[in-house]
Chain A
Amino acid sequence: MRSIEITAKSVEEALQEGIGQLGVRKNNVKVEVLSEASAGLFKIISQKPARVRLTVLKEPAVLLKSFLEEILQLMGLEGEVAVKEAEGLLYAEIYGRNLGILIGKRGNTLNALQYLCNVILSRNFYDQKRRVLLDVEHYRVRREKSLEQLAANMASKARRTNKEVVLEPMSPQERRIIHLALKNNKDVDTYSKGEEPYRKVVIVPRQN
């Protein structure tokens, strides 16, 4: 666990300084006052500074795991939470049975929960921009496959009918999957139109 000791004119000042150095929120540190400040006589001689030790209670991965476990419990669901850190990303995966309600219609609930995890982490750790990717029962992997399938089907429809095909509204990550899937398709081009959260991908047949 990360821990630092800070010396300053007062306990409060040492606390502020330490929190700034650690880059964490106040309620996520354990504070031990090692020595109080004393003004000393005539304020000049023998002025003793305050010294505190600050220890981070929960690092990002731990905080994320305990947040999700608590959510599961409050929703009356049984599942396991696994958090991995890689390349500045935090991957949180939830495994269990009957977790469909955590995913919601087209991943609505999953995306809302992922967003909340991101906000909570960025508020608890000021200087870290670690993004959270949340998945439940490999939903995102399965969704990616079905989106790639959809892209291929709709591209051939666009080519066959020689008309634009407009897909349903999707999140930025989902649109990206469609664009990437058709990047090397010589028959069609893709672009997005509309405003979030109703932005959608359009597949345009190329006039060869």
Chain B
Amino acid sequence: MQATLETSRVPAAWIRIVHLLTTPRAARLTAPILIIVTWQLVAPLIGSTLLPMPIDVLEEFIDLAIEGTVWSAFAISFVRLGIGLALAVVIGVVVGLLLGLSPRAEAFAHDFLVIGLTFPYLIWGIIVSMWFGFGDAGPILVVFIAAVPYVIVNMAEGVRDAPRDLIDMARSYDAPRLRVIRQVVVPSLSPFFFAALRYGLANGWKGLVLAEVFAATSGAGWEIAGMRDIGNASGVVAYALYFAFFSILVERLVFGRLSDWVFRWRPRRPEAARAVNA
């Protein structure tokens, strides 16, 4: 009885607010707000110019946007990323399909893939700066090198995971080859292609920014390194925020929508939950 009385004293409005703040949707907002508030509270206590206050960073963030160099720097980087990634996808898909089909080719390439997946981008950055000096070629090559193993590995896995029961079904009905490729093989590969693209993009991007520090005189990586060189801490953090901003933008605008459309046939949450329970 006591417990019931206690809870009844808590105003209903308060419960509703707490409830609202803890929904998954609200959590996406409350998390960054909480971080910023803590940051603003802690930064003055440390009192160092190396840890800028959120307000300074915000100012720098806005200045960068108005001044416009950030847009051109990212535009340069995105072009490099686009070229490197396009090469990685074209070559990676072909090689990946081949490795998936041929165990011998897989055995041949296995060690190279392991090296490719784990090799530090820093080393590639240094190597390409030696080979190509400062320019576009080095960073583009690093994007390609960073992305291509992920594309290969995912596509090869997609081939090995081919839906044999559906292919047998198609064969027993004598479905024409082109129709089987378009309606069975390609759709069955598309989740793997998506993973290839996602990992390729993410790793190509990480490799690119590093390469731009060593082997370029332009681009987002070069700009942020420049901020460090002149000791502009709030500039570095503001720039870092742009990296975060573009990640979210690409995820929401490109991958989120594209995958919603490509995988529209997948059963929605309730069915998925049922499948787990069954």
Partners in one complex: no
